[in-house]
A and B are shown apart, each in its own frame.
Chain A
Amino acid sequence: MQAGQAARIVERRPGAGYLRAVAAVVWKDLAAELRSRELLGAMLVFALLVILIFNFALELDVRVRATITSGVLWVTFAFAGTLGLNRSMAIEKDRGCLDGLLLAPVDRSAIYFGKAIGNLAFMLIVEAIVVPIYSALYNTNLFHPGLLLVILLGSIGYVAVGTLLASMAVQARTRDMLLPILLFPVALPILVAAVKASNGFLQSLPLTEVMPWINLLLVYDVVFAAVSLMVFDFVVEE
């Protein structure tokens, strides 16, 4: 970071250089996905299957649905998100791409941000498809601006800490099993706050009851992003 600031004085637009590095990593992930279409397809089918299983497991009739929709949605997002996080880091590790990325003469945090934004994009795309499908299947209107905001904030926090933990998990022996075990307990504050806030908006509770949860989401978004940014160097270091 300090190097970046020093360079800013010398050169004219190294800030733009940092952003370009982030954008390049994001673009790389999106382009690879656009050509292979492995990840999004799997995440989507998986998400729909989870909803399907919930339908049978919980007998989602009209009365039940009203109170547990937010819970079902967030479990679905969390599971599908784990799938995506694992895959996006496993690709880097398996084909030695991560080493190539680390050799690039950019700040390591740019790589973290690039991967995190890429993961966030995949998660948001899946959510953008799951939410309307859920609305149609269960005849409930989920297009509440508050709910969409909560989904955005919750995904940011989940991906911020998830990207860091996924890059740790892929380097361990038990990698596929490890990510959910590492991620779920740490991300729990995000998930709890997101479920409670979503529920508040879906039940049209007064804003004063929803705001504490939104605030908690914001706090954890900032905390997780900041900590991950600071320690990412140590995770990818050889």
Chain B
Amino acid sequence: MEATPRGLKGLTWLTAAMFAAALYLVLFYAPREAVMGDVQRVFYFHVAAGWVGALAFLVTAVSGAIYLARADRRWDNIATASVEIGVVFTLINIVSGSIWARPIWNTWWTWDPRLVTATVMELIYIAYLMLRQGIEDPDRRARFGSVYGILGFLSVPLTFLSIRIWRTIHPVVVGSGDPTAEGSFDMTSRMLQAFMFSLLTFTFLYATLLWHRVRLGRLSEKVEQLKMKVLSA
């Protein structure tokens, strides 16, 4: 068993500290939103989780493409690790959105394009995990995973374009949006600071988890090889 690298230990502690700070900023520093009240505070982590989900799937698609080009298993390891993290954060994004939508839209769920595309994205990567489970040969599993990761990512851009293609009731807070969308608001500078810091924290959280998971993947592969060696001896 090799020791945890120093960098990873440091990053983990840094992320933990940042997360505590982000919680403080979101819960106490940012002002209470005038119309929606405290439930608006969901927004900071909701968007940050959505961002990490999208980032994770982008990393999967890129590492998949590199794997296909180089056939180096390390890239496949990164791709799987990233999918697992992305699935969790997309789920956080969807669930936190529902919690916010209950008082604001007066429903847990609505068939809005933005919500549907986020859910489809989640389903694609659950399918990705099921595909990998169904294949035993590790090389083939890596190749199929890479192919599906690339193909699946083509549906993610749609998530971001959807808000411009379809009319939507999902508010657009970042960038220009329709101000009449139900539940939209203008950010004060304190809100913006809390929001930006949440984004940064979640990005660090993603990096930390990815590093841990990639390391775990490498170790489990090593265990697999040792097992083979023992069995063949």
Contact = CB atoms under 8 A, between A and B. Distances in A.
Dominant secondary structure at the A interface:
helix
B158 interface: yes
A229 to B, nearest CB: 12
A185 B135 contact: no
Contact of A182 (B120, B135, B148): B148
A11 to B, nearest CB: 30
Given A168-B144, A234-B146, A186 B124 contact: yes
A33 B148 CA distance: 29
Given A186-B151, A235-B143, 17 more contacts: A161-B151, A164-B151, A165-B151, A174-B134, A175-B134, A178-B131, A181-B127, A185-B123, A186-B124, A186-B152, A186-B155, A223-B154, A224-B154, A227-B154, A234-B68, A234-B143, A237-B143
Nearest to A212: B165
Interface string B112-134: 00000000100110010011011
Given A189-B158, A231-B68, A234-B143, A181 B151 contact: no
Interface string A190-233: 00000000000000000000001000100010011001100100
Given A185-B124, A212-B165, A178 B155 contact: no
B147 interface: yes
Contacts of B140: 171
A54 to B, nearest CB: 20
Interface residues of B, number: 24
Contacts of B124: 185-186
Interface of A: 161, 164-165, 168-169, 171-175, 178, 181-182, 185-186, 188-189, 212, 216, 220, 223-224, 227-228, 231, 234-235, 237
Contact of B136 (A168, A173, A216, A220): A173
A181 B136 CA distance: 19
A189 B127 contact: no
4 tightest A-B contacts by CB? A172-B134, A174-B134, A185-B124, A173-B134
Contacts of B214: none
A212 B136 CA distance: 43
Nearest to A168: B144
Nearest to B71: A234
Contacts of A171: 135, 140, 144
A223 B158 CA distance: 13
Nearest to A188: B120
Contacts of A172: 131, 134-135, 144
A158 to B, nearest CB: 13
A234 B135 CA distance: 15
A234 B147 contact: yes
B147 A164 contact: yes
B144 to A, nearest CB: 5
B209 interface: no
Nearest to B140: A171
B150 interface: yes
A169 B130 CA distance: 11
B75 to A, nearest CB: 13
27 contacts: A161-B151, A168-B131, A168-B147, A169-B131, A171-B135, A172-B134, A173-B134, A173-B135, A173-B136, A174-B133, A174-B134, A181-B127, A181-B130, A185-B120, A185-B123, A185-B124, A185-B152, A186-B154, A186-B155, A188-B120, A189-B155, A216-B165, A220-B154, A227-B154, A231-B147, A234-B68, A235-B144
A197 to B, nearest CB: 13
Contacts of A185: 120, 123-124, 127, 152, 155
Contacts of A188: 120, 155
Contacts of B133: 174
A188 B124 CA distance: 10
Interface in B40-89: 68
Contacts of B127: 181-182, 185
A163 to B, nearest CB: 12
From B68, B130, B144, name the one whose CB has the most chain A CB atoms within 10 angstroms: B144
A174 B120 CA distance: 21
A185 to B, nearest CB: 4
A234 B136 CA distance: 16
Contacts of B136: 173
